[in-house]
Amino acid sequence: MSSILPDRKYTKDHEWASAKGQSVTVGITDFAQTSLGDVTFVQLPETGKVFNRGEIIGSVESVKAVSDIYAPISGKITKVNQDVLNDPALLNQDPYGKAWLIEVEASNAGELNELLSPEAYKQHAE
């Protein structure tokens, strides 16, 4: 079983979200990076882009497939992880730490309550 952190919320599409006030950090789960295999390319939106929950905000390409990244929450991108753009393999090494993807200023923090708990995500990912 892949790693699931207790301090995150999850989507059925295998993204995670970690909130600190209105700021939400977003990434892909350990399950996602394991399923993808060796990640070779990451495409992310630019800082300042505004999007709605569920919209495609980027993609991850691996030796096996290309997978879309969906916004777990609505808001405005305040930060993009340049390290993961420069070294996509970080997603395979540390999906919950160094390989976070974006930070978002949430426009509706209540949407976090609609995401999966770690327990619910574990059941979904099994």
Q: What is the pLDDT of residue 2?
A: 75
Residue 102 and residue 77 in contact, taking contact as beta carbons nearer than 8 Å: yes
For residue 35, give the CATH number of its domain. Answer: 2.40.50.100
Ramachandran bin of 3, using left for φ above 0, alpha for ψ from -120 to 50, beta for the remaining angles: beta
Domain-embedded: residue 103: yes
Domain-embedded: residue 69: yes
Domain-embedded: residue 123: no
- d(CA 70, CA 82) in angstroms, rounded, equals 19
Predicted confidence (pLDDT) at residue 1 exceeds the cutoff of 70: no
Q: Tell me, rounded to whole angstroms, the distance of Cα 85 from its chain centroid.
A: 14
Q: What is the pLDDT of residue 38?
A: 96
pTM: 0.95
For residue 118, the SS3 value is helix
First to last CA, the chain: 7
Question: In which domain, by residue range, is 20 found?
Answer: 11-108
pLDDT digits (tens, 9 = 90+) for 47-69: 999 999 999 999 999 998 999 99
Burial label, 60 (beta-carbon count in 10 A; 0-12, 13-18, 19+): buried
Domain-embedded: residue 51: yes
Per-residue confidence band for 126, with pLDDT thresholds at 50, 70 and 90: confident
Domain-embedded: residue 121: no
Domain-embedded: residue 4: no
Q: What is the pLDDT of residue 21?
A: 86
- d(CA 57, CA 76) in angstroms, rounded, equals 11
Domain-embedded: residue 18: yes
Domain-embedded: residue 41: yes
Number of domains in the chain: 1
Residue 68 and residue 97 in contact, taking contact as beta carbons nearer than 8 Å: no
Q: What is the pLDDT of residue 27?
A: 98
